[in-house]
A and B are shown apart, each in its own frame.
Chain A
Amino acid sequence: MSHLAHTVAVRASGVDMFFGTPENRVVALKQAGFEARRGELIMLVGPSGCGKTTLLSVIAGTLTPQAGAVEVFGQRLDGLGQEALTTFRRKNLGFVFQSFNLIPTLTVAENVMVPLLIQGRPFDEAHERALAIIEKVGLKGREEGRPNALSGGQQQRVAIARALVHEPPLLICDEPTSALDKDTGAQIMQMVRDLSRSPERCVVVVTHDHRIFRFADRIAEMEDGRISRVVDDPKLLDTTHL
């Protein structure tokens, strides 16, 4: 039992989340439960509107559920105030967004430095670490360029560098390949897998893209606001409705 507790990175149970007024309520999560382990890459899949993004937001501490318990690396998030949640995200989370969210007026290096600067690290140290990880994602020489001068795949690499530069234990990826072609998407997922693979890190990926299912250790399928099943082999999933 204690071994299991040690390996769990994210655990959510009995999570309810709804939006709107009591008269006009939209239920996003209904007694949802979810578990992700340290060292694994888990994908959350399901049709549009099933609650994937809401669950991801709850795990990331950007949404507070109306009911249920959420624990990330031993820290209970439900009941934490906004300030504590902000501090938690700053230390423990890395984000890769669907539309990259790279600031176009900053250079590639400056974009990558953002999480470190938010943590209060000195500019020079942040710059040095940013250059190191930019080299790792294969963009050496593009540090001082603007993100808009890069291809979609290259921009997503910058986003991955930004997500990992402060070495967070939990990496949250929201549709990381939806804006990319098949080959580039595969390269990006390979990179996420290679760079983030660590016994102490967990990667949660929300995706519609069944072409990247093969990169997952496990896949959690969602339906109507709850996890309907979790599989180890993507072949076991019926992808026709995704």
Chain B
Amino acid sequence: MYRLALNMLFGDRAKLAMLLCGLAFSALLMAQQSSVFFGIMSWTYTPMVNIRAQVWVSDPMVEQVNDAKPLRDTDLGRVRSVDGVAWAAPLHTSFVQARMQDGNFKLITLVGIDADTFAGAPAVLSQGRIEDLRLPDTVIVDEWGAALMGRMGVGPDGKPRNTPLQVGDTFEINDIQARIVGICRVKRAFTGGPFVYTTYDRAKGYTLGARRTLSFMLVEPQKGVAPAELCDRIERDTGLKAWTSDTVIWNWGERSLARNTFWWFWTNTGIPFSFGTAVLLGLFVGIAISGQTFYSFVLENLKYFAAIKAMGAGMGVIARMLFVQAFTAGLIGFGLGAGMAQAIGRVMIEKGMPPFVMYPQILWATFALVLGISFVSAVIGIVKVSRVDAASVFRG
């Protein structure tokens, strides 16, 4: 009977198309909006991705990576003395205004790294050398920032240059010259500002008047010491807060600063509500369109279901037929919707806006919700058919 159930479904192409449209649109909306949401949320802990270290140490009151509470420089020595620490390097992060050639200002994320070890340096340089940061007044700018700030540059003719900044170009931070010696490739940040790397000591100069400039400490455990274990030791011996660099937000057990940052934004901003509303909208639209269309499909076939009942099919068989029809439509609708979400995601990733991260969990959740929509649709149909009297087939 299931084969016939499928033939009944595929035989009514107009209804099937409508049903698939509803389910696919619903799956698309849920998967795409969730992926953009997780993409945006992944930007919140971008510094954890761009500045690589196994253990981060911060002030105990720090809740997330974008909100550093400066430490004393002497804390660095205390951390270095903890058993299991191979090395510890200072890190400065702050948001400062950079003045461009055309006179405009741009908010940047200034990252000051240790000039001796270059701990926390960007992994990929598309232009220049990291060692050149040891030269006076030098910085490394990320590719996206170079393009953005390039549009604010002025050419030799005095007109906007509209080309990305290059090695050798300059701008100012707090009236101090910053000469570009490298262009790096890093992940973009939630704050939208370009990443500008310099040395820790020069960063002190760029942030005039700041009494404390040590935002974090980057720590490498000795061989054989697990990062989480070292975090415990640092906290116990120094009273500071130590974090692992794990950026898998599903990893509930880790002491991850990235995960804390993710959940800080989750609970303290309206982002989840906004995207959650869109996902719920997708769910409701799916239930409304698919449920209504499937109900109309059942209504249209009601007399045939009544005839099948009269011929001796129990409600169990008919219910299974309806489930097969609804779940098959759900499966195809999910495939279409998820496929479209993937295609849109590819375009987004190429353009870099908006961010798009489609975790497998998003696909599984969307799949479950689409099947839920199919289930609801089938149950609505089953209730209708169960109320049909088999004797009604004799009433013309």
Contact = CB atoms under 8 A, between A and B. Distances in A.
A171 B394 CA distance: 14
Given A105-B11, A106-B11, A174 B311 contact: no
A56 B396 CA distance: 13
Interface residues of B, number: 28
Interface string B299-327: 00101100111111110010000000000
A60 B311 contact: no
A25 B393 CA distance: 22
A113 B394 contact: no
B12 A89 contact: no
B391 interface: yes
A47 B395 CA distance: 15
A22 to B, nearest CB: 20
Contact of B313 (A90, A103, A113): A90
A86 B314 contact: yes
Contacts of A95: 307, 310-311, 393
A91 B312 contact: yes
B396 A93 contact: no
Contacts of A57: 391, 394
Interface stretch (A115-123, A132-140, A181-189): A115-123
A53 B395 contact: yes
A56 B390 CA distance: 12
B307 A63 contact: no
A215 interface: no
Nearest to A107: B7
Contact of A62 (B9, B314, B391): B391
A105 B325 CA distance: 13
Contact of A89 (B10, B311, B389): B311
Given A57-B394, A97-B393, A105 B311 contact: no
B3 interface: yes
Interface residues of A, number: 35
B8 interface: yes
A97 B394 CA distance: 7
B389 A105 contact: no
B4 interface: yes
B1 interface: yes
Contact of B308 (A60, A107, A114, A175): A114
A99 B394 CA distance: 9
Interface of A: 53, 56-57, 60, 62-63, 83, 86-91, 93, 95, 97-99, 101, 103-107, 110, 113-115, 117-119, 123, 174-175, 206
13 contacts: A60-B394, A62-B393, A86-B312, A89-B311, A93-B311, A101-B307, A101-B393, A106-B4, A110-B4, A110-B7, A113-B4, A114-B4, A118-B308
Given A89-B311, A114-B308, 12 more contacts: A62-B391, A89-B312, A95-B307, A98-B394, A101-B304, A103-B301, A105-B9, A106-B8, A107-B7, A118-B1, A118-B313, A123-B3
